[in-house]
Amino acid sequence: MRIITTIAEMHAQIETWKNADQTIGLCPTMGYLHEGHASLMDYSNEDNDYTVASVFVNPIQFGPNEDLSKYPRDFERDCKILEAHGVDVVFHPEPEEMYFPDFCTYADVDVVSDTLCGATRENHFRGVCTVIAKFLNVVQPDKIYFGKKDAQQLAVVRRMVRDLNFDVDVVGCPTVREEDGLAMSSRNVYLSPEERKAARILSRTLRLGQDMIREGCSDSKELLDAMKTNLATEPMADIDYVEVVDGISMQPIETFGKGDVVAMAVRIGATRLIDNFTVGDMAIEIPEV
Protein backbone atom coordinates (compact mmCIF):
# COMPACT_ATOMS: atom_id res chain seq x y z
CA MET A 1 0.00 0.00 0.00
CA ARG A 2 1.38 3.39 -1.02
CA ILE A 3 1.00 6.48 1.15
CA ILE A 4 0.83 9.67 -0.92
CA THR A 5 0.89 13.11 0.65
CA THR A 6 1.03 15.46 -2.34
CA ILE A 7 -1.44 16.28 -5.11
CA ALA A 8 1.34 16.09 -7.74
CA GLU A 9 2.23 12.50 -6.77
CA MET A 10 -1.44 11.57 -6.67
CA HIS A 11 -1.97 12.95 -10.19
CA ALA A 12 1.02 10.91 -11.46
CA GLN A 13 -0.36 7.70 -9.90
CA ILE A 14 -3.86 8.32 -11.32
CA GLU A 15 -2.43 9.00 -14.78
CA THR A 16 -0.68 5.61 -14.76
CA TRP A 17 -3.91 3.82 -13.83
CA LYS A 18 -6.04 5.76 -16.33
CA ASN A 19 -3.54 5.08 -19.14
CA ALA A 20 -3.96 1.38 -18.39
CA ASP A 21 -7.80 1.73 -18.51
CA GLN A 22 -8.12 0.78 -14.84
CA THR A 23 -11.11 1.82 -12.72
CA ILE A 24 -10.69 3.69 -9.44
CA GLY A 25 -12.83 3.77 -6.31
CA LEU A 26 -12.40 6.54 -3.73
CA CYS A 27 -13.32 6.23 -0.04
CA PRO A 28 -12.98 9.61 1.67
CA THR A 29 -12.43 9.47 5.44
CA MET A 30 -11.18 11.63 8.29
CA GLY A 31 -9.34 8.66 9.78
CA TYR A 32 -9.74 6.98 13.16
CA LEU A 33 -11.22 4.17 11.15
CA HIS A 34 -13.77 1.61 12.28
CA GLU A 35 -15.59 -1.28 10.61
CA GLY A 36 -18.02 1.13 8.96
CA HIS A 37 -15.14 2.75 7.05
CA ALA A 38 -13.62 -0.65 6.31
CA SER A 39 -16.86 -1.75 4.68
CA LEU A 40 -16.56 1.17 2.21
CA MET A 41 -13.12 -0.13 1.16
CA ASP A 42 -14.59 -3.64 0.73
CA TYR A 43 -17.37 -2.33 -1.54
CA SER A 44 -14.83 -0.33 -3.54
CA ASN A 45 -12.53 -3.34 -3.93
CA GLU A 46 -15.40 -5.40 -5.30
CA ASP A 47 -16.34 -2.73 -7.85
CA ASN A 48 -12.99 -1.31 -9.01
CA ASP A 49 -9.48 -2.23 -10.11
CA TYR A 50 -7.92 0.15 -7.58
CA THR A 51 -9.06 1.68 -4.31
CA VAL A 52 -7.84 5.00 -2.93
CA ALA A 53 -8.75 5.99 0.65
CA SER A 54 -8.20 9.53 1.82
CA VAL A 55 -7.35 10.18 5.45
CA PHE A 56 -7.70 13.91 5.98
CA VAL A 57 -9.26 15.80 8.89
CA ASN A 58 -10.76 18.59 6.84
CA PRO A 59 -10.44 21.83 8.82
CA ILE A 60 -13.00 23.79 6.81
CA GLN A 61 -15.92 21.54 7.75
CA PHE A 62 -15.48 22.24 11.49
CA GLY A 63 -17.20 25.21 13.10
CA PRO A 64 -15.40 27.54 15.55
CA ASN A 65 -16.94 25.70 18.53
CA GLU A 66 -16.35 22.20 17.16
CA ASP A 67 -13.76 19.59 17.96
CA LEU A 68 -11.10 20.01 15.18
CA SER A 69 -8.07 19.89 17.50
CA LYS A 70 -9.63 17.13 19.61
CA TYR A 71 -10.76 15.03 16.64
CA PRO A 72 -9.33 11.54 17.28
CA ARG A 73 -6.34 10.60 15.10
CA ASP A 74 -4.20 7.47 14.79
CA PHE A 75 -2.70 7.26 11.31
CA GLU A 76 -0.56 4.21 12.02
CA ARG A 77 -3.56 2.20 13.18
CA ASP A 78 -5.59 3.51 10.21
CA CYS A 79 -2.92 2.26 7.78
CA LYS A 80 -3.07 -1.24 9.26
CA ILE A 81 -6.85 -1.32 8.72
CA LEU A 82 -6.56 0.10 5.20
CA GLU A 83 -3.89 -2.39 4.22
CA ALA A 84 -5.94 -5.28 5.64
CA HIS A 85 -8.87 -4.11 3.48
CA GLY A 86 -6.90 -4.07 0.25
CA VAL A 87 -6.49 -0.32 -0.21
CA ASP A 88 -3.90 0.48 -2.89
CA VAL A 89 -3.18 4.11 -2.08
CA VAL A 90 -3.80 6.23 1.01
CA PHE A 91 -4.01 9.93 0.22
CA HIS A 92 -2.91 11.70 3.40
CA PRO A 93 -2.18 15.37 2.67
CA GLU A 94 -1.38 18.08 5.22
CA PRO A 95 -3.95 20.91 5.36
CA GLU A 96 -1.37 23.21 3.67
CA GLU A 97 -1.29 20.85 0.66
CA MET A 98 -5.07 21.09 0.28
CA TYR A 99 -5.64 24.79 1.08
CA PHE A 100 -3.53 27.73 -0.04
CA PRO A 101 -3.20 30.40 2.67
CA ASP A 102 -5.48 32.67 0.60
CA PHE A 103 -7.92 29.89 -0.40
CA CYS A 104 -11.35 31.42 -1.08
CA THR A 105 -13.27 29.10 -3.46
CA TYR A 106 -16.03 26.87 -2.13
CA ALA A 107 -18.63 24.38 -3.38
CA ASP A 108 -21.86 25.24 -1.59
CA VAL A 109 -25.13 23.31 -2.00
CA ASP A 110 -28.26 25.27 -0.99
CA VAL A 111 -31.56 23.78 0.23
CA VAL A 112 -30.32 20.21 0.80
CA SER A 113 -27.70 21.59 3.23
CA ASP A 114 -30.08 23.88 5.10
CA THR A 115 -31.99 21.41 7.31
CA LEU A 116 -31.04 18.77 9.92
CA CYS A 117 -27.30 19.02 10.75
CA GLY A 118 -26.90 21.96 8.35
CA ALA A 119 -29.35 24.06 10.39
CA THR A 120 -26.97 24.19 13.37
CA ARG A 121 -23.54 23.41 11.84
CA GLU A 122 -22.92 26.59 9.87
CA ASN A 123 -20.76 26.03 6.75
CA HIS A 124 -20.27 22.35 7.63
CA PHE A 125 -21.59 21.04 4.31
CA ARG A 126 -19.84 23.80 2.39
CA GLY A 127 -16.60 22.44 3.87
CA VAL A 128 -17.55 18.83 3.05
CA CYS A 129 -18.56 19.66 -0.54
CA THR A 130 -15.43 21.70 -1.14
CA VAL A 131 -13.06 18.98 0.02
CA ILE A 132 -15.00 16.31 -1.91
CA ALA A 133 -14.91 18.45 -5.08
CA LYS A 134 -11.15 18.75 -4.61
CA PHE A 135 -10.73 14.99 -4.04
CA LEU A 136 -12.80 14.31 -7.19
CA ASN A 137 -10.44 16.52 -9.17
CA VAL A 138 -7.31 15.01 -7.64
CA VAL A 139 -8.29 11.31 -7.73
CA GLN A 140 -10.74 11.31 -10.69
CA PRO A 141 -12.49 8.17 -9.38
CA ASP A 142 -15.14 6.20 -11.27
CA LYS A 143 -17.01 5.68 -8.01
CA ILE A 144 -16.96 7.41 -4.63
CA TYR A 145 -18.23 5.68 -1.46
CA PHE A 146 -20.09 7.17 1.52
CA GLY A 147 -21.82 5.64 4.54
CA LYS A 148 -25.60 6.03 4.76
CA LYS A 149 -25.19 6.91 8.44
CA ASP A 150 -24.44 10.45 7.23
CA ALA A 151 -27.65 10.55 5.18
CA GLN A 152 -27.62 14.31 4.68
CA GLN A 153 -23.95 14.31 3.65
CA LEU A 154 -24.77 11.65 1.05
CA ALA A 155 -27.75 13.66 -0.27
CA VAL A 156 -25.72 16.89 -0.39
CA VAL A 157 -22.82 15.24 -2.25
CA ARG A 158 -25.21 13.58 -4.70
CA ARG A 159 -26.75 16.98 -5.43
CA MET A 160 -23.36 18.64 -5.92
CA VAL A 161 -22.23 15.85 -8.26
CA ARG A 162 -25.43 16.22 -10.30
CA ASP A 163 -25.49 20.02 -10.36
CA LEU A 164 -21.78 20.47 -11.17
CA ASN A 165 -21.64 17.53 -13.64
CA PHE A 166 -18.90 15.56 -11.91
CA ASP A 167 -18.44 12.31 -13.85
CA VAL A 168 -18.57 9.91 -10.90
CA ASP A 169 -21.05 7.41 -9.40
CA VAL A 170 -21.89 8.20 -5.78
CA VAL A 171 -22.40 4.94 -3.86
CA GLY A 172 -24.24 4.92 -0.53
CA CYS A 173 -23.23 2.00 1.72
CA PRO A 174 -25.25 0.51 4.62
CA THR A 175 -24.64 1.74 8.17
CA VAL A 176 -22.51 -0.66 10.20
CA ARG A 177 -23.65 -1.11 13.80
CA GLU A 178 -22.22 -2.35 17.07
CA GLU A 179 -23.84 -5.52 18.43
CA ASP A 180 -26.26 -3.49 20.55
CA GLY A 181 -27.38 -1.36 17.60
CA LEU A 182 -25.26 1.80 18.07
CA ALA A 183 -24.14 3.08 14.67
CA MET A 184 -20.35 3.00 14.35
CA SER A 185 -18.75 6.43 14.48
CA SER A 186 -15.28 7.79 15.22
CA ARG A 187 -17.00 9.99 17.81
CA ASN A 188 -18.15 6.97 19.88
CA VAL A 189 -14.71 7.01 21.59
CA TYR A 190 -15.76 10.20 23.39
CA LEU A 191 -18.50 8.34 25.30
CA SER A 192 -17.89 7.30 28.92
CA PRO A 193 -19.06 3.75 29.77
CA GLU A 194 -22.27 5.20 31.23
CA GLU A 195 -22.85 7.39 28.16
CA ARG A 196 -22.07 4.47 25.85
CA LYS A 197 -24.90 2.55 27.52
CA ALA A 198 -27.25 5.53 27.29
CA ALA A 199 -26.41 5.92 23.56
CA ARG A 200 -28.38 2.76 22.81
CA ILE A 201 -31.50 4.93 23.02
CA LEU A 202 -30.82 6.18 19.45
CA SER A 203 -31.06 2.79 17.73
CA ARG A 204 -33.86 1.68 20.05
CA THR A 205 -35.85 4.73 19.03
CA LEU A 206 -35.17 4.13 15.34
CA ARG A 207 -36.37 0.59 15.83
CA LEU A 208 -39.57 1.91 17.41
CA GLY A 209 -40.04 4.15 14.35
CA GLN A 210 -39.47 1.22 11.99
CA ASP A 211 -42.01 -0.88 13.91
CA MET A 212 -44.63 1.91 13.68
CA ILE A 213 -44.07 2.21 9.93
CA ARG A 214 -44.36 -1.54 9.47
CA GLU A 215 -47.69 -1.29 11.30
CA GLY A 216 -48.89 1.32 8.80
CA CYS A 217 -47.91 4.73 10.19
CA SER A 218 -47.20 7.32 7.47
CA ASP A 219 -47.87 10.51 9.44
CA SER A 220 -44.71 12.38 10.42
CA LYS A 221 -46.15 14.05 13.53
CA GLU A 222 -47.47 10.79 14.96
CA LEU A 223 -44.12 9.08 14.30
CA LEU A 224 -41.99 11.92 15.65
CA ASP A 225 -44.10 12.38 18.80
CA ALA A 226 -43.65 8.70 19.65
CA MET A 227 -39.92 8.78 18.88
CA LYS A 228 -39.34 11.93 20.96
CA THR A 229 -41.28 10.44 23.88
CA ASN A 230 -39.07 7.37 23.67
CA LEU A 231 -35.86 9.43 23.56
CA ALA A 232 -37.05 11.34 26.64
CA THR A 233 -37.01 8.09 28.65
CA GLU A 234 -33.19 8.33 28.63
CA PRO A 235 -32.17 11.12 31.04
CA MET A 236 -28.72 11.51 29.40
CA ALA A 237 -30.21 12.11 25.94
CA ASP A 238 -30.62 15.70 24.76
CA ILE A 239 -32.42 15.93 21.40
CA ASP A 240 -30.92 18.21 18.75
CA TYR A 241 -33.45 17.10 16.10
CA VAL A 242 -35.67 14.22 15.08
CA GLU A 243 -37.17 14.76 11.63
CA VAL A 244 -38.80 13.02 8.71
CA VAL A 245 -37.42 14.47 5.47
CA ASP A 246 -37.72 13.91 1.76
CA GLY A 247 -34.90 11.52 0.83
CA ILE A 248 -33.61 13.74 -1.99
CA SER A 249 -34.19 17.34 -0.88
CA MET A 250 -33.83 16.73 2.89
CA GLN A 251 -36.87 18.99 3.48
CA PRO A 252 -39.31 18.10 6.29
CA ILE A 253 -42.51 16.41 5.11
CA GLU A 254 -45.90 15.83 6.76
CA THR A 255 -46.59 12.38 5.32
CA PHE A 256 -43.92 10.04 4.15
CA GLY A 257 -43.28 6.98 2.00
CA LYS A 258 -40.53 4.90 0.39
CA GLY A 259 -37.20 6.69 0.04
CA ASP A 260 -37.90 9.31 2.72
CA VAL A 261 -35.53 9.51 5.67
CA VAL A 262 -36.16 9.44 9.43
CA ALA A 263 -33.11 11.14 10.97
CA MET A 264 -31.98 12.22 14.41
CA ALA A 265 -29.14 14.01 16.17
CA VAL A 266 -28.94 13.50 19.91
CA ARG A 267 -26.38 14.66 22.43
CA ILE A 268 -25.26 12.12 24.99
CA GLY A 269 -23.24 14.22 27.43
CA ALA A 270 -20.98 16.38 25.25
CA THR A 271 -21.05 13.97 22.29
CA ARG A 272 -23.43 14.62 19.42
CA LEU A 273 -24.50 11.39 17.71
CA ILE A 274 -26.50 11.02 14.49
CA ASP A 275 -28.44 8.10 13.08
CA ASN A 276 -31.22 7.47 10.57
CA PHE A 277 -33.06 4.99 8.39
CA THR A 278 -34.64 5.21 4.99
CA VAL A 279 -38.30 4.23 4.70
CA GLY A 280 -38.56 1.11 2.53
CA ASP A 281 -34.90 0.27 3.16
CA MET A 282 -35.50 -1.11 6.61
CA ALA A 283 -33.43 -4.27 6.36
CA ILE A 284 -31.06 -2.66 8.87
CA GLU A 285 -31.42 -4.90 11.88
CA ILE A 286 -31.47 -2.87 15.05
CA PRO A 287 -31.18 -5.53 17.76
CA GLU A 288 -33.70 -5.52 20.61
CA VAL A 289 -31.48 -5.07 23.69
Positions in the binding site for ligand PAF (CB under 6 A): 28-30, 58, 61, 128, 131, 150, 153
Q: How far is the CB of 281 from ligand PAF (least distance, A)?
A: 20
Active-site annotation holder among 11, 34, 37, 85: 37
Q: How far is residue 180's CA from residue 177's CA, in Å, rounded to a whole number?
A: 8
Q: How far is the CB of 30 from ligand PAF (least distance, A)?
A: 4
| DSSP sequence for the chain | -EEE--HHHHHHHHHHHHHTT--EEEEEE-SS--HHHHHHHHHHHHH-SEEEEEE---GGGS-TTS-TTTS---HHHHHHHHHHTT-SEEE---HHHHS-TT--------GGGTSHHHHHSTTHHHHHHHHHHHHHHHH--SEEEEETTSHHHHHHHHHHHHHTT---EEEEEPPPB-TTSPBP-GGGGG--HHHHHHTHHHHHHHHHHHHHHHTT--BHHHHHHHHHHHHTTSTTEEEEEEEEE-TTT--B-SB--TT-EEEEEEEETTEEEEEEEETTBTT------
Q: How far is the CB of 218 from ligand PAF (least distance, A)?
A: 30
Q: How far is residue 45's CA from residue 66's CA, in Å, rounded to a whole number?
A: 33
Whether 37 is catalytic: yes
Q: How far is the CB of 229 from ligand PAF (least distance, A)?
A: 30
Q: How far is residue 204's CA from residue 195's CA, in Å, rounded to a whole number?
A: 15
Nearer to ligand PAF, 26 or 224 (CB): 26
Nearer to ligand PAF, 61 or 230 (CB): 61
Q: How far is the CB of 41 from ligand PAF (least distance, A)?
A: 13
Nearer to ligand PAF, 17 or 135 (CB): 135
Nearer to ligand PAF, 28 or 141 (CB): 28
Nearer to ligand PAF, 29 or 115 (CB): 29
Q: Which residues are annotated as catalytic? A: 37
